[in-house]
Amino acid sequence: MSKKLLLDIAILLTLVILGVVGYKLAPLFNPKTDVMLPLSGCNLSQQVCAATLPDGGQLEFAIEPRPIPPLKPLKLQVTIQGSEPRKIEVDFAGTDMKMGYNRPALESVAGQRGRFGGQAVLPVCITGTMDYDATVLVETGEALVAVPFRFSVTGE
């Protein structure tokens, strides 16, 4: 076999492997949700935001401190009433610019039924102000529900 043919085969094999890896990792970046609620008009930078889940449960989501700073630890808190989630994650994504995978899982707060907490850090944006979508992913066992919120972060 010639070197050119071996090089072509190696390139083709590399492309196939990259395609398979991309296909397997795609659900991490765009989770398949069963129910996507409409974008809330509530601004997480200013207040606690709430939404009604499809099963009638109530979800409240808060990020502290306010206003939300970049590159500082953020306290995430979700409270759910009338529903029993198995797992809760918050997916952060830049609305106009990809900022990388940032999806912390929230843990149940000991002794407080329906309360979940965790931490996150948002990357800095060099343009000054950055709009983010924070999508609370609620896995109930019957469905994966996505509850989106939007907020802005101003760089220092």
The string of pLDDT tens digits covering residues 72-117 is 899 999 999 988 888 999 999 888 877 777 889 999 988 888 899 9
Q: Are 40 and 93 in contact (CB under 8 A)?
A: no
Same domain, 11 and 69: no
Residue range of the domain that includes 17: 1-30
Same domain, 1 and 60: no
55: left (phi over 0), alpha (psi -120 to 50) or beta: alpha
Number of domains in the chain: 2
Mean pLDDT, all residues of the chain:
84
Same domain, 84 and 104: yes
Same domain, 42 and 114: yes
What pLDDT, on the 0 to 100 scale, is given for residue 90? Answer: 94
Same domain, 47 and 123: yes
Same domain, 113 and 40: yes
Same domain, 21 and 95: no
pLDDT top residue among 24 and 116: 116
The number of beta carbons lying within 10 Å of the beta carbon of residue 92 is 22
